[in-house]
Amino acid sequence: MGDRPLRQVPALTFRTALLAGLFILLLALDLLRAYAGPSLSPAQWAAGAALVATLWSALGERGRRARERLPWVALAGLLVPTWVDHARRLDLGDSIHYYTYLRSMLFDHDLDLGNDYTLLGWYPQLNVLPVGAPILWSPLVVLVHLGREAARVFGAGAPTGTEPVYQAAVCQATLLYGTAGLFLLMHALRRWVSPAAAFWTTVIAWVGSPVRFYLSVLPGLAHGVEFFAAVLVLRAYQALRDRPDRRRALAAGAACGLVFLARSQDGVLLALPAIELARRWLAGPQRRRYALVAVALAAAFAVVALPQIAVWQAMFGTPLLVPHERLHGADFLHREHPQLLATLVSPRGGLFTSYPMMLVAALGLVALAFRDPRYVLAAAPVLLAGWYVNSVVFDWYQVRRFTGAVPLLAPGLAVALAPVTPAGVPVCALLALLVLRYDVAVDALRSTPGDPAPVRAVVAQAADGLAAGAYGLTARVAPRAATHLLAAYTGQPLLEDEVTTVDLGADPSLLRLPLPARHLSAPSVEDGVACRWVSGREARLFLPVAWDGAVIVTLRARALETPEPQLMTVSWNDAEVGRVELRPQWADYRLHVPRRAVRAGTNVLLLRFDRGPIYHRVRGEGPREVRPAALSAITLHRDRAGGR
C-alpha cells in the first residue's frame, strides 16, 4: 500500500483504526488514573509507546517519508510523559472558579454557583473568570457524565459532578487542546523555517514558556485552552493573509472570539487579522471588498464572544466587564504607573527572567522583520498591548497572562533557532533540556506568584537539577562513580576521609542533593546554635556515600520542651539502628550502623519521633506546626571495627 498514490489509500485502514483505538485507550487510562493512582502508569507508558509506534506506521502508510514523519512522531513521543504524569485534580483556586460554571450548567442548569462552590469544598463567592475554558471542556465532560449516568444501571450512585473522574476529565480536556495546539503550531511555523527548526521551536516554546506548567502542573486552569485558541488565531491569520475572503475572515474572527472567551484580555489578538485587512484596505483597490471582509471578521468575533457577554449581563448586569476590577476594586489597575520594565525583568515574575527563551523570541522578531515585515508589523501592536495590560495589574501573575502571546512570539523564536538546527539533534536536544531545567527551577523557587526567583538562583537550582539527574542515571549502574561525580560537583564529599561533619544550620548540599531533604525547616538559631527544626513527626535525609562499611552516626540535637519524654527512632536504609530519648538541651547522640545496612550510593537516614508537639502551643509564639526537635549537625565516622 505504501507505493500507491495517497488518494488511493482508504481513509480507514487497519493502522488508522489501531491508532484511534490506542488513543482512546490512552484517554481511558488517563481517566482511570484518577482512581488507580501511579500503579496504572506502566500501562499508560505502554499505551503511549504503542501509540507513537503506530503513528509512525500510519504516516508511512500514507506515503510520508521518514524525514517527514519524524517531527510529528517525535513530538508525540515527547508528550507521552506529560500524559502519564500530569495533574488530575482541581486545585482550590481558579480551577474551582472555572469548573463551577460547567458543573452548575450540567447539573443545576443555572448560573447560581453558590452550591457548586460548597460541593467542591470552597465557600460561595463571586466568580468573574471567563467562560471559554468550561465551554471547551464541556464535550469531554459531558461524555464522562453520560458514562457516569449509565453506570447507575449497574448500581453506582447518582453523580454530583465532584467525583475524581469529572476533575480528571477537565484536566484531560486541557491537555487535549494543548496537544493539538502544539501540533498546529509546529505546522504553522513551517511558513518561516524548515520542518526541523519548526519542531525544535515548538518543543522549546512549550518547555520554555508558561505552556508546560499549565499543561502538566495546573491543567485545571484556562491557560492550555488559551494557548490552543491563540494558535488558531495565528493559523487563521496566515490563511487570511494568503486569501483575504469572507470565509477565512469568518474563521479568523471565530478564532479571535474563542481566545477572548478563554481569557478576555486576549481579545486584543483580534488586531492581528484586523491590521492585515487594514493594510490591504489602505493600499487599495478593492476597498469595498476588504471592508466587507472586515465586517465578516468583526461579526464572527462578536458571535463567538456572545456567551461571555451574555454571562456578564446575566451575572453582573453589564455586557462588558473588567473581571478582576469588579473583584478587587479600582485599585486593581494602576494605569498611571505601569510596571513596564518589571513586567519583563523582575525576579518576582518578569516574563524574560522567568522564560529567557521568550526574550530570544522577541529578538528573533526583530530579525524576522527584515524577512516578513507584514507579520511583525501586525503582531507587534498585539504584543505591545498585551505587555501594557499586564504592566498595569497590581499582582504578580503576569507570567500567566502571557500564555496567549506565546504563539505570536514563536515565529521570532523559530527564526532565532533556525541557525542552531543544522548543528544536529544532540545540540538541539541539549538546548531543550537546559530550557526545561531552567523552567522547572523557576517553579521550585516560586511556590506562589510573586516569590522572587533571581536568575542566578534559578541557574544554580537548574544546575542542581541536572546534577541530580546525572547522579540518578549513573548510580543505577555505577553507584560509587556517581557518588564521586556528585562530590566533585558539590565540593562536599561524605566519608571520603575518616570523619565528615555536616553543619545543618548552614546550607549544605546534602539538603538538596541527590534528593531534597524532607521535613526540615529553614535555618534558625536555638540557644545560640544554628540549626533546623524537624517539621513533622519524621525527617528524611539522603546521604550519597561511596563507603560501604560500618558507620558511626552522631546527631547533635535537642528536643522541644514537652511534659513527656521525646523518643527518637533512627533508621538507616530501613534498618533500625537506635532509639534514644532526647533532652531539651543540645547533646550528641551516637549510633552504630552495621555494614550490612550501608550501601554505595544513596543511603536514607530516617528520624522518627514519638510525639508531635505544636511549636506555638509549647512556646506561645512561632510557627503553628509540629516541631519535635532541632538538629544542628550530623557527623559520620568510618567504623573499621564495626561488624556486619
pTM: 0.89
The pLDDT value recorded for residue 398 is 58
Non-local (6+) Cβ contacts of 436 within 8 A are 207, 208, 212
The pLDDT value recorded for residue 2 is 42
- Name the residue among 167, 222, 217 with its Cα closest to residue 35: 167
C-alpha cell at 557: 540535637
Cα separation, 605 vs 639, in Å, equals 17
* Amino acid letter, residue 93: G
| Region 273-291 average pLDDT | 92
Furthest-apart CA atoms within the chain: distance in Å: 96
C-alpha cell at 122: 470552597
What mean pLDDT is reported for the chain? 92
- Name the residue among 131, 218, 120, 235 with its Cα closest to residue 174: 218
Could you tell me what percentage of the chain is helix, strand and coil, using 3-state DSSP and rounding each to the nearest 5? 60, 10, 25
- What residues pair up with 533 in beta bridges, in sequence order? 630
User: Residue 387 is inside which H or E element, if any?
Assistant: helix 373-391
Q: How confident is the model at residue 285 (pLDDT cuts 50, 70, 90)?
A: confident
The pLDDT value recorded for residue 289 is 93
Coil vs helix vs strand at 286:
coil
The pLDDT value recorded for residue 195 is 96
Q: How confident is the model at residue 9 (pLDDT cuts 50, 70, 90)?
A: low
Non-local (6+) Cβ contacts of 172 within 8 A are 27, 30, 31, 88, 140, 219
| Region 27-51 average pLDDT | 96
The pLDDT value recorded for residue 578 is 93
Cell numbers 568510618 correspond to: 638
| Region 499-504 average pLDDT | 94
Is the pLDDT at 242 greater than 90? The verdict is: yes
Q: Which long-range contacts link 489-492 to residues 24+ away (Cβ below 8 Å)?
A: 489/513
| Region 31-52 average pLDDT | 96
Give residue-wise pLDDT tens across range 363-416: 999 999 999 999 999 999 999 999 998 888 766 555 667 999 999 999 999 999
Q: How confident is the model at residue 307 (pLDDT cuts 50, 70, 90)?
A: very high
Cell numbers 527551577 correspond to: 441
In order of 118, 443, 533, 586, the CA distances from 529 in angstroms are 47, 32, 12, 9
User: Residue 601 is inside which H or E element, if any?
Assistant: strand 601-609
Is the pLDDT at 54 greater than 70? The verdict is: yes
Neighbours of 117 (CB within 10 A): 18
* Amino acid letter, residue 261: L
Give the end-to-end CA distance of the chain in Å, rounded to a whole number: 67
The pLDDT value recorded for residue 339 is 86
The pLDDT value recorded for residue 399 is 63
Give residue-wise pLDDT tens across range 101-142: 999 999 999 999 999 999 999 999 989 999 999 999 999 999
Give residue-wise pLDDT tens across range 309-320: 999 999 999 988
C-alpha cell at 83: 500524559
Give residue-wise pLDDT tens across range 308-351: 999 999 999 998 888 777 777 776 777 778 888 988 998 888 99
**Residue 285, preceding bond cis, omega within 30 degrees?**
yes
Q: Which long-range contacts link 118-122 to residues 24+ away (Cβ below 8 Å)?
A: 119/160, 119/161, 119/162, 120/90, 120/96, 120/162, 121/92, 121/96, 122/92, 122/96
Give residue-wise pLDDT tens across range 574-617: 999 999 999 999 999 999 999 999 999 999 999 999 999 999 99
Neighbours of 79 (CB within 10 A): 21
Q: Could you give the dihedral angle defined by the CA atoms of residues 267, 272, 273 and 278, in that order, rounded to the nearest 10 degrees? A: 110
| Region 141-165 average pLDDT | 94
In 259-335, beta strands by DSSP E = none
Cα separation, 219 vs 37, in Å, equals 17
Angle at 381 between CA 376 and CA 383, to 5 degrees: 85
User: What is the secondary structure of 541-587 as a DSSP string?
Assistant: EEEEES--S-EEEEEEEEEPP-SSPEEEEEEETTEEEEEEEEPSS-E
Residue pair 181/173 in contact (Cβ under 8 Å)? The answer is no
The pLDDT value recorded for residue 632 is 96
Q: What is the 3-state secondary structure (H, E, C) of 412-440?
A: HHHHHHCCCHHHCHHHHHHHHHHHHHHHH
Better-predicted residue by pLDDT, 3 or 579: 579
Percent of the chain exceeding pLDDT 70 equals: 96
Residue ranges of alpha helices (H) inside 86-129 are 94-103, 114-119
Q: How confident is the model at residue 567 (pLDDT cuts 50, 70, 90)?
A: very high
In order of 104, 167, 325, 639, the CA distances from 212 in angstroms are 29, 19, 28, 48
C-alpha cell at 451: 516569590
The pLDDT value recorded for residue 1 is 42
Give residue-wise pLDDT tens across range 97-112: 999 999 999 999 999 9
| Region 61-78 average pLDDT | 94
Give residue-wise pLDDT tens across range 429-454: 999 999 999 999 998 888 777 788 99
C-alpha cell at 305: 464572544
- Give the number of residues written for the chain: 644
Sheet (strand 538-545) strand order? 538-545, 601-609, 566-572, 575-582
